[in-house]
Amino acid sequence: MMTPTSRTQRARRASIDFGAIIIAPVGITAVVLAQRMAGVPASTLVQYSAALIVFGGTLGALLITYSPAEVLRAARAAVGAFRTVRSDLDSLAATLITLATRAHRHGLLAIDTDAESIAEPFLREGIAFAIDEASPETLREVLTSEAAALGAIEESPARVLEAAAGYAPTLGILGAVLGLIHVMRGLGGTSGLGSGIAVAFVATVYGVGTANLILLPLAGRLRERAALAAQRRELMMVGICAIQERAHPRVVARKLRSFGVKPELERVTLRAPAAAGDLGPGLMPLPLGAATVPARDQALA
């Protein structure tokens, strides 16, 4: 089994999405401003007992549903949700077409050494298995099962956050009910009845607000990132299977175009090794030899 793609993603270039960080507090700020505009002090939303019921209860429910390691992994993923991983589909496609060119002209064994220099685990091990395995059906079955396993690992933090978003509103209602019970016990004096009921419903605000303004948006970002990673693996699977079949490089390029890669990749030619990083984040330059093939038809013959 291949290592989780989190290592691969760390190898790819990542940057902070400052726009998302700036926009993230907009929902919470809108709620607080609405309170101020209505003449209600923002301090009324600060209730430690309500916070303990909602956040402590949500954490307890999560630890029953998931293991502590999964909850911790989800927390780390949530912190890293505001990192933008640059797409390297063009570089992956270029690498696959280059490998397909060599395999089509010289056979699968000709790319054995080239595959060892690829830093992407899924692509490197997939190419190696394609060279050793003669059955296309077995190759696709193994690649599909490994891709599904990696996808489940990547979607696990989103599932944890979505579960938390389901628990938090319910626990907010529980906190409101407990607060109302406390208010009902003091019905002998009605002077503080209104403020007591207001405090009781703060727990509901915590639960619903946390679920819809924090947890679900974070889960959505993580699911989108997992979907992009799945698309990346699907592109590699299509390329690996085509390489094993020694398909014509133009056919490989045509298949990869469905993933949104640039049409110019159909003009890829064999060339001398380039500077490190030229094939994009997470990939190593392939040792394709010093000779440059001048004509497109010769390179794709």
- How far, in Å, CA of 103 to CA of 301, rounded? 11
- How far, in Å, CA of 287 to CA of 116, rounded? 10
pLDDT number for residue 7: 46
pLDDT number for residue 189: 59
pLDDT number for residue 172: 93
Answer yes or no: is pLDDT of 223 > 70: yes
- How far, in Å, CA of 76 to CA of 157, rounded? 9
pLDDT > 70: percent of the chain: 77
- How far, in Å, CA of 105 to CA of 240, rounded? 16
Provide the strand spans (E) within the chain: 14-16, 83-85
pLDDT band at 14 (very low <50, low <70, confident <90, very high): low
Q: What type of residue sits at position 241?
A: C
pLDDT band at 5 (very low <50, low <70, confident <90, very high): very low
Most confident of 11-25, 59-73, 274-288: 59-73
The token pair that represents 190 in the structure block: 């009605």
Largest CA distance in the chain: 94
The token pair that represents 262 in the structure block: 């640039």
Q: In a 3-state reduction of DSSP, which class is residue 55?
A: helix
Pairing type for strands 14-16 and 83-85 reads antiparallel
Strand partners, 16: 83
Nearest to 58 by CA among 184, 202, 201, 165: 165
274-287: average pLDDT = 41
Answer yes or no: is pLDDT of 285 > 80: no
Nearest to 234 by CA among 156, 153, 155, 150: 150
Q: What type of residue sits at position 260?
A: G
Residues 6 or more apart in contact with residue 286 via CB below 8 angstroms:
95, 98, 99, 114, 117, 118, 273, 279
- How far, in Å, CA of 291 to CA of 269, rounded? 11
pLDDT band at 161 (very low <50, low <70, confident <90, very high): very high
15-38: average pLDDT = 76
pLDDT number for residue 300: 42
56-65: average pLDDT = 95
pLDDT number for residue 9: 43
How many of the other CB atoms lie within 10 Å of CB of 187? 9
- How far, in Å, CA of 21 to CA of 239, rounded? 36
DSSP assignment of 181-202 equals HHHHHTTT--TTHHHHHHHHTH
Query: Tens digit of pLDDT for each residue in 238-276?
Result: 999 999 999 888 888 888 888 888 755 444 444 434 443
Q: What is the mean pLDDT of the chain?
A: 79
Answer yes or no: is pLDDT of 197 > 80: no
Half-sphere exposure of 172 (CA within 13 A, CB side): 18
Query: Tens digit of pLDDT for each residue in 90-121?
Result: 888 988 998 999 998 888 888 888 888 888 89
Give the domain ranges of the chain: 98-140+233-299
Q: What is the pTM of this model?
A: 0.74
Nearest to 223 by CA among 77, 18, 75, 12: 77
Nearest to 208 by CA among 172, 238, 248, 177: 172
